[in-house]
Amino acid sequence: MIRRFLGGVSLGLLSLILLPAPLWAQPSGSDQASSDNKSADAKLDAKAMAKRIDALIAAGWKANKVKPASRTTDAEYVRRLYLDMGGRIPSILEVRDFLDDDRADKRALWMDKLLDGEMYSRHFANFWRDLLVAQSNNQQLQFFVPQMEGWLRSRLKENAPYDQMVRVILTTPQPFNQGGGFQGGGQGQGNPSAFYQANEFKPENLASSASRIFLGVKLECAQCHKHPFAKWTKNQFWEFAAFFSEIQPNRGLVQGSREIKIPNTDKVAKAKFLNGGEPQFKQGQSARITLADWITAADNPYFAKAVVNRMWAYFMGFGIIDPVDDEPDADNPPVHTQILDELSKQFVANRYDLKWLIRAIASSEAYQLSSVGTGDSKEDTRLFTRMAVRGLSPEQIFDSVAEATEYQDPNPNSQQPQFNPNFMASPRQEFIAKFASQDKRTETHTSILQALYMMNGKFMSDQTGLDRNKTLTTIADAVSSSTERRIETLYLVVLSRPPRADEMQRLVKYVNSGGARKDPRKALTDVYWALLNSAEFMLNH
């Protein structure tokens, strides 16, 4: 269950601001959407695939006798869209422009605008970097993180096919070239060698990460022994690790190596695919290239499904197979397997186009449902009757705070892909270090130290003060604006929506009275601070 940010903190002002009946708790309902059960044999565009998704989900609702939530309001949708596609909340101008847009297909048009912009490549570079290179205190690894992120950003910006990106990561010719001279992924645009650094250049670590991330197969449990309920054996683990045996931490690249000694035994494992197939190696070619050929093959039963399931979980809160890094079993049955099968086939047919995949999922009515549950019918979140409430990533939190407070990075080059000595010391990186990423966004929680940082940290104090925040000062000093108008503007800036009538009534009274300090201007800063510390701001709903 979502633990609300600052849950249990008893503050008079927060109790005044925090929503007593949040959007994701009130019951509502709608008529069941119609279903189109035609098979998806031909190549489909994203819009057609979205309709197919909705037909299959609606069939599940009908079979289980459940009702979906209502469609999101435009204010709810534009906030969700910007967080999911661009990694931050929309600006007040973007909110107003979207709400004023009267085009019938404006949601699709605004999605395209975000996917074709810089925000998409920047945000999803964060997403993939966090997956490929977990946060670490290893200073040597931190040197490579900006290069990895820069490489990802450049590939995403040009919409490189996903299979090609994975091939480059797996076959980096010189992962030991710590001077940054790798030439395989775009000169001057970073490189993906941090994947190897993060796995300590160890074949067993690389095998575990590659199978988990690219195939959705958790092999590491079989590394030391045969688990009584696991599908994979110890031999299979080391046979897969043998593909990386040419990478040896103390010797660099050992060309032609295709086998590995199993620790604490006298056995040697020869490279073999997870499906038991014998690889056909080419003379003088790295075993990793042969592995990459098999992993990214169109008929690989794991590859496309793994990324489709991962992206589905990112946008919908739960994977069709959940957790996404494991295979289904009797205790972890999948839901809507037909959606996963058809979406995966279409992803391959559309040449591993990540933007196509994103459009197909986010164009569905299922993605556009409210997070409000239906109170008069049984609810199963895995049936996707409503949008799951998701915690924000550290990057989403900081970038949203920056947008809401008009923070300007004093060192604009600190986000560049090349190594920058100021990268880790920037306010953004310091913030991210305090808010460690969490695997399961639907069960996110915030620590006491993180809550204190948001409430009393120097960065937040600086950004929410009248002397530093131009937006806040402009709102507070606007002579022609009423208190109602000022409060509405603060809500649009922070929460991307206007306040409800009951919220407006309470807050007008609070501001006009001057609050605890008997100063209406400072009372507005109290409202602003409380909104930034609210559960609604910290969650994607």
Pair 363, 243 in one domain: no
> Which of 347, 369, 388 is the last residue before a domain boundary?
388
pLDDT score, position 137: 57
Mean of pLDDT values over 356-367? 98
Query: What is the number of structural domains in the chain?
Result: 3
| 454 & 400 share domain | yes
The pLDDT assigned to 135 comes to: 63
Per-residue pLDDT at 408 = 80
Question: Which whole-number Å values give the CA distances from 10 to 14, 15, 18, 513, 516, in the listed order?
Answer: 8, 7, 11, 21, 16
445 belongs to a structural domain = yes
pLDDT at 107 over 80: yes
Residue 14: pLDDT band (50, 70, 90) is: very low
Residue range 109-138, pLDDT digits in tens = 999 999 999 999 999 999 999 999 876 556
Q: How far apart are CA 386 and CA 80, in angstroms?
A: 14
Helix (H, G, I), strand (E, B) or coil at 40: coil
Pairing of strands 259-261, 252-253: unpaired
Decide if 89 is inside a domain: no
Check residue 181 and give its pLDDT.
Answer: 36
| 280 lies in the same domain as 254 | yes
409 & 371 share domain = no
pLDDT tens, residue by residue, 246-297:
987 766 677 778 999 988 888 999 999 998 899 999 988 999 999 999 999 9
- Candidate ranges 114-123, 373-382, 476-485; pick with highest mean pLDDT: 114-123
Contacts of 136 by beta carbon, 8 Å cutoff, 6+ apart: 142, 198
Residue 492 lies in a domain: yes
Residue 51 to residues 36, 80, 330, 359, 365, Cα–Cα distance (Å): 8, 20, 30, 12, 8
* pLDDT score, position 28: 34
What lies within 8 Å, CB to CB, of 53 at 6+ separation is 339, 343, 360, 361, 364, 366
* Max Cα distance, the chain (Å): 83
Q: Which two tokens stand for residue 87?
A: 């990694």
For residue 36, is pLDDT > 90? no
Residues 367 and 416 in one domain: no
The residue range of the domain holding 513 is 12-22+392-540
- Mean pLDDT throughout 381-393? 90
pLDDT at position 411 is 63
Dihedral Cα 336, 337, 339, 344, nearest 10 deg: 150
Residues 281 and 360 in one domain: no
**DSSP, res 220:** G
- Residue 103 falls within a domain, yes or no? no
Query: In terms of Cα–Cα distance, which of 135, 106, 49, 41 is closest to 355?
Result: 49
Give yes or no: residues 381 and 396 share one domain. no
pLDDT tens-digit readout, 389-448: 999 998 999 999 999 998 887 665 545 444 444 455 677 777 777 776 666 777 776 777
Is residue 105 domain-resident?
no
- Measured at the CA of 90, the angle between CA 86 and CA 94, to 5 degrees, comes to 120
Per-residue confidence band for 38, with pLDDT thresholds at 50, 70 and 90:
very low
Together in a domain, 515 and 472: yes
Does some domain include residue 63? yes
Assigned domain for 248 exists: yes
Final residue belonging to a domain, choices 276, 295, 314: 295
pLDDT bracket for residue 27 (50, 70, 90): very low
Which residue carries 């809507």 as its tokens? 336
**In 3D, which of 436, 532, 536 has the Cα closest to residue 24?**
536
Mean pLDDT, to the nearest integer, of 53-72?
Answer: 93
How confident is the model at residue 180, as a pLDDT?
36
Report phi then psi at 71, rounded to 5.
-70, 150
For residue 80, is it within any domain? no
Contacts of 117 (CB under 8 A, 6+ apart): 86
Nearest Cα to 463, choosing from 385, 517, 387, 409? Answer: 409
Q: How much is the average pLDDT of 22-50?
A: 56
pLDDT at 382: 81
Asked whether 86 and 117 are in contact (CB, 8 A), the reply is yes
Q: Where is pLDDT greater, at 173 or 536?
A: 536
| Same domain (yes/no): 274, 150 | yes
Rounded to the nearest integer, the mean pLDDT of the chain is 83
The whole-number pLDDT of residue 113 equals: 97
Helix (H) or strand (E) holding 540: strand 539-540
Q: What average pLDDT does this structure show over 472-490?
A: 89
Question: Would you place residue 170 in the very low, low, confident or very high pLDDT band (cuts 50, 70, 90)?
Answer: very high
162 and 63 co-located in one domain: no
Please tell me whether residues 434 and 337 are part of one structural domain: no
Residue 101 has pLDDT above 80, yes or no: yes
If one compares 379 and 198, the residue with the highest pLDDT of the two is 198
Q: Which of 295, 328, 360 is the last residue of a domain?
A: 295
Looking at the fold, whether 336 and 380 belong to one and the same domain comes out as yes
Confidence of residue 372 (pLDDT cuts 50, 70, 90): confident
Position 129 scores a pLDDT of 93
Beta carbons within 8 Å of 394's beta carbon, 6+ residues apart: 431, 432, 434, 435, 436, 437
What does the H/E/C string look like for 311-380?
A: HHHHHHCCCCCCCCCCCCECCECCCCHHHHHHHHHHHHHCCCCHHHHHHHHHCCCCCCECCCCCCCCCCC
What whole-number percentage of the chain has pLDDT above 70?
79
